[in-house]
């Protein structure tokens, strides 16, 4: 039996750094980057649908978080249903922590129910569901955003061994206890119980969602997270895939298919010299698919005022090409220390030269932690204006 394992579509997701930039900023994202990101999530859904159809899969199993929340707007629901309508393969949707099967459940909302294609089934009832001849899915839907027990473990404990000739797939959402160190989290999935259920034949594959990075258990690779089909954050490991699973009673043969096209990249750079700035400029220029790439820079070092002005101009120039380009300030440690060459480069005279000298003195004290930090910013602006 072949099926497609996926999760965490997060349709309707927004990202702060893809929003409109303030007018005072020279570079960075524009509002249309968010629209392109939202469309890319639907493109990934359409792509995995084509993969399922071409693979002649029995069904597509979406293990939670189909939507970013139960509060997304009707336009998100309508476009999601249009994308699902393009599938020929049956689709099973499990409520997760972002879209739990509570009183506000989007998957029960009238606008979704009215538009839902007939080949789409919502697994909002816990327990065993016969989904094809000789195939059962054991659903463990989230019924609230903060469950107080191991939902997968509860379903496994209620199972007898699968009938002969029947394959059982668990559909769950949440972190295994070996992946989540929080001992106070009651909803963690107990790995020992999952391994025992696989060993004694109660189930044959455990399909999980919630972890946005693809993952297979080293003890039994029939326990898997599919990851998100399109990247959602900077700390994800190898997102952008779906899993095509060929399953029998003894083993799962899993093929990874790539559907995501966006990249979220964190880049570390030491900046102390003009050569370092050249290297950063070259690295940014070499990125492919900038319109689908968000970059966070972690910068450390010491720059002169002239060099810091160049950095600002460099980031402003590249920023328009990227979906997002920003300095991750909490993790950066980049000092700006004016030197004599900075003052000479301004080539000012009279009152303007005296004012600049006072600003330089104040900025120099600021770099040592004792002066006027605003003086340094004023000098950066002055350098930019004189240079233009």
- What the chain holds in terms of domains, given with CATH numbers, is 2-258 (3.60.21.10), 263-387 (no CATH)
DSSP element (H, E) containing 138: strand 135-139
Q: Which residue has the tokens 């120039």?
A: 317
Task: Note the pLDDT of residue 377.
Answer: 63
Q: Which is higher by pLDDT, 303 or 169?
A: 169
Q: Rounded to whole angstroms, how far apart are CA atoms 317 and 322?
A: 10
Task: Note the pLDDT of residue 209.
Answer: 98
Please, where are the H alpha helices in the chain?
32-54, 74-85, 110-115, 151-157, 191-199, 274-286, 305-319, 340-346, 350-367, 373-387
DSSP 13-31: ---GGGSPPPTT-SSS--T
End-to-end CA distance of the chain: 67
pLDDT tens digit string along 82-130?
999 999 999 999 999 999 999 999 999 999 999 999 999 999 999 999 9
**Contact at 8 Å (CB) between 266 and 328?**
yes
pLDDT tens digit string along 150-166?
999 999 999 999 999 99
Q: Pull the structure tokens for residue 256.
A: 């990874």
Nearest CA among 310, 313, 305, 302 for reference residue 360: 305
Q: Rounded to whole angstroms, how far apart are CA atoms 374 and 122?
A: 57
Q: Classify residue 40 by its DSSP letter.
A: H
Q: Rounded to whole angstroms, how far apart are CA atoms 197 and 189?
A: 13
């Amino acid at each position: 039996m072949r099926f497609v394992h996926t999760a965490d579509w997060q349709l309707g997701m927004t990202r702060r750094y893809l929003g409109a930039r303030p007018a005072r900023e020279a570079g960075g994202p524009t509002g249309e980057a968010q629209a392109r990101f939202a469309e890319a999530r639907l493109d990934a859904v359409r792509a995995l649908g084509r993969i399922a159809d071409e693979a002649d899969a029995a069904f597509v199993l979406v293990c939670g978080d189909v939507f970013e929340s139960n509060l997304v707007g009707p336009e998100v629901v309508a476009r999601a249903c249009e994308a699902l309508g393009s599938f020929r393969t049956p689709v099973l949707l499990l409520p997760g922590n972002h879209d739990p099967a509570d009183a506000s459940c989007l998957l029960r909302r009238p606008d979704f129910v009215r538009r839902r294609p007939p080949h789409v089934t919502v697994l909002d009832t816990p327990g065993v569901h016969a989904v094809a001849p000789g195939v059962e899915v054991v659903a463990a839907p989230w019924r609230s955003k903060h469950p107080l027990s191991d939902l997968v473990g509860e379903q496994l404990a209620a199972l007898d061994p699968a009938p002969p000739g029947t394959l059982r797939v668990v559909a769950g959402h949440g972190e295994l206890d070996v992946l989540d160190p929080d001992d106070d989290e009651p909803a963690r999935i107990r790995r020992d119980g999952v391994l025992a259920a696989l060993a004694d034949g109660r189930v044959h594959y455990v399909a999980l969602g919630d972890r946005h990075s693809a993952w297979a258990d080293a003890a039994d690779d029939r326990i898997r997270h599919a990851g998100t089909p399109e990247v959602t954050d900077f700390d994800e490991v190898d997102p952008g895939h779906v899993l095509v699973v060929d399953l029998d009673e003894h083993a799962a043969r899993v093929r990874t298919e790539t559907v995501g096209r966006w990249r979220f990249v964190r880049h570390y750079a030491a900046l102390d010299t003009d050569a370092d700035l050249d290297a950063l400029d070259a690295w940014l220029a070499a990125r492919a698919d900038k319109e689908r790439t968000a970059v966070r820079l972690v910068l450390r070092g010491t720059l002169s005022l002239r060099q810091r002005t160049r950095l600002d101009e460099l980031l402003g120039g590249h920023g328009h090409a990227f979906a997002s380009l920003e300095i991750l300030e909490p993790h950066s440690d980049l000092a700006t220390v004016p030197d004599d060459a900075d003052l000479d480069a301004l080539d000012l005279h009279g009152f303007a030269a005296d004012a600049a000298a006072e600003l330089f003195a104040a900025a120099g004290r600021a770099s040592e932690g004792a002066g006027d930090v605003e003086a340094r910013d004023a000098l950066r602006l002055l350098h930019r204006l004189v240079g233009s």
